[in-house]
Structure 1
């Protein structure tokens, strides 16, 4: 009797968890669905109120985008180049820095780690004026270098990589490789980086999304329309003084979030795979 009641209680708790997580999933998907639905509606329909049912104005919204000079393929190319390059540089050099902080002992190590923690706490907006003047003095306005190169020294990524590496690093792995004659850089590439795959996938998602959605810094540094990123092109749709085509705006937003969904879908399996592998004892 007791076992039967206990089984029913466990089953009820499991059902409540399923219901709870289903509600959370729907709440997470709902904003994206609203954006997609609004991309198929006209401006008057959007102004009438919220709807969860797609309309038939998607082609008109796309045509309006094209008539306003919205070069989606150029925007995709510019944003993809910046996001992919900055994310790759950030992951590699941040992992290298985290590896050095974990493996090696050197003077000023604690001081350097304190500086990294301090940089995390400083908002980017505080230094944006000085950064603009510095780039202007270097002649790097209307250039992608200021949007890519600073990713090499990403304090939040270094912090995350170091915290993750502390949980998986074992000195015996590196010592055995050194005994076999492997160089330090080879040890990092062949042993450490594969172990950090879940952390790399996690920060790749965050880094790519942040770079892809970055609007303020490109707006300040870039003036040539041919170099505009996708968020900057979407912003141009709001400059009409007589009428705002909300449907076209939502169409542009929908097109801009498609690569983010693809990147998350591709990289999330490495996070899940890494967690699963870490939970199996050899």
Structure 2
């Protein structure tokens, strides 16, 4: 077998394996979308079948009606508000902190950087109770503040990601800007920020994903159904004391994935650019 045939066979095997793994990863989503068009009583009867025998589009209408007069329009608005505000806050302040650690020499910089990195190792379960006690003392329970305000102090993972990107930017640009009369703040906004847009966009995409899918934090801090995000509202479909409307539940779950899918396809190129931390390009 010559080299070309071996190379062609290798590509065929690689693509076949990729298609198999892609099908395995996409199957739950496709099954959920198909189940959203089934009768609730038929969802788990023929669970191996993706497409329903009869298409029930009314599941989307029933699901959108929500509960107790609260439609999913309210839940989607709540999710968009929480996700957008927390994402903007986390990206802006993470970039500021990352710039400080990367370019500004201040007392105790290494110590604070180590402390910040150590917080990445703490599981949420360790800080959940102390945070609840603190927010309850501040009177923030059943408000959006516990879900949004912590983002305005920076996110350690985003800080580290943006720091790695800033370190690829030559310091000579900072020195040239200082010669032209720029101070530290001007250098950050005029020089650094335009160059770290890929890293900031990558962090924004991850932040949007995490905030949109967050279930535990709203469950802990929110008590009024009118304030629920989509992730928490979906739980209301499951009632152990009555019959669960699985069709409507899967219909709303399918719709809840649309913002994430749209964001991914629009900004996917920034993910590669941001993680690669390629820095300046010629």
TM-score normalised by structure 2 residue count: 0.90
* Partner residue in 2 for 1:42: 39
* Partner residue in 1 for 2:65: 66
Q: Indicate the SS of the match to 1:80.
A: helix
Note the alpha carbon deviations across 1:47-98, whole angstroms, 9 max, x for none. Answer: 2122222441231453255263451111111110111111111111111111
Q: Tell me by how many angstroms 1:279 deviates.
A: 9.6
* Partner residue in 1 for 2:136: 136
Q: Tell me by how many angstroms 1:274 deviates.
A: 6.5
Aligned residues: 278
Distance 1:22 1:242 in 2: 41
Q: Tell me by how many angstroms 1:40 deviates.
A: 0.8
- 1:20 counterpart = 2:17: yes
- Structure 1: gaps (5+ residues): none
Distance 2:224 2:156 in 1: 30
Q: Tell me by how many angstroms 1:146 deviates.
A: 1.2
From the superposition, tell whether residues 11 and 190 of structure 1 become closer, same or farther in structure 2 (CA, over 3 Å): farther
Alpha-carbon contact 1:42-1:61 (below 8 Å) kept: no
Higher helix share: 1
Range with bigger deviation, 30-39 or 74-83: 30-39
Alpha-carbon contact 1:91-1:203 (below 8 Å) kept: yes
Q: Indicate the SS of the match to 1:142.
A: coil
From the superposition, tell whether residues 60 and 108 of structure 1 become closer, same or farther in structure 2 (CA, over 3 Å): closer
Q: Tell me by how many angstroms 1:258 deviates.
A: 1.0
Q: Tell me by how many angstroms 1:118 deviates.
A: 1.0
From the superposition, tell whether residues 271 and 64 of structure 1 become closer, same or farther in structure 2 (CA, over 3 Å): closer
- 1:11 counterpart = 2:12: no
Please give the residue correspondences for 1:25-174 in structure 2 after superposition, counting only pairs within 5 Å.
25-48=22-45, 49-54=47-52, 55-66=54-65, 68-69=67-68, 71-153=71-153, 154-166=155-167, 168-174=168-174
Q: Indicate the SS of the match to 1:47.
A: coil
What is the root-mean-square deviation in Å for CA atoms of aligned residues?
Answer: 2.4
Alpha-carbon contact 1:201-1:268 (below 8 Å) kept: no
From the superposition, tell whether residues 52 and 117 of structure 1 become closer, same or farther in structure 2 (CA, over 3 Å): same
Alpha-carbon contact 2:199-2:277 (below 8 Å) kept: no
Alpha-carbon contact 2:98-2:163 (below 8 Å) kept: yes
Range with bigger deviation, 220-229 or 272-281: 272-281
TM-score normalised by structure 1 residue count: 0.90
Please give the residue correspondences for 1:244-255 in structure 2 after superposition, counting only pairs within 5 Å.
244-255=244-255
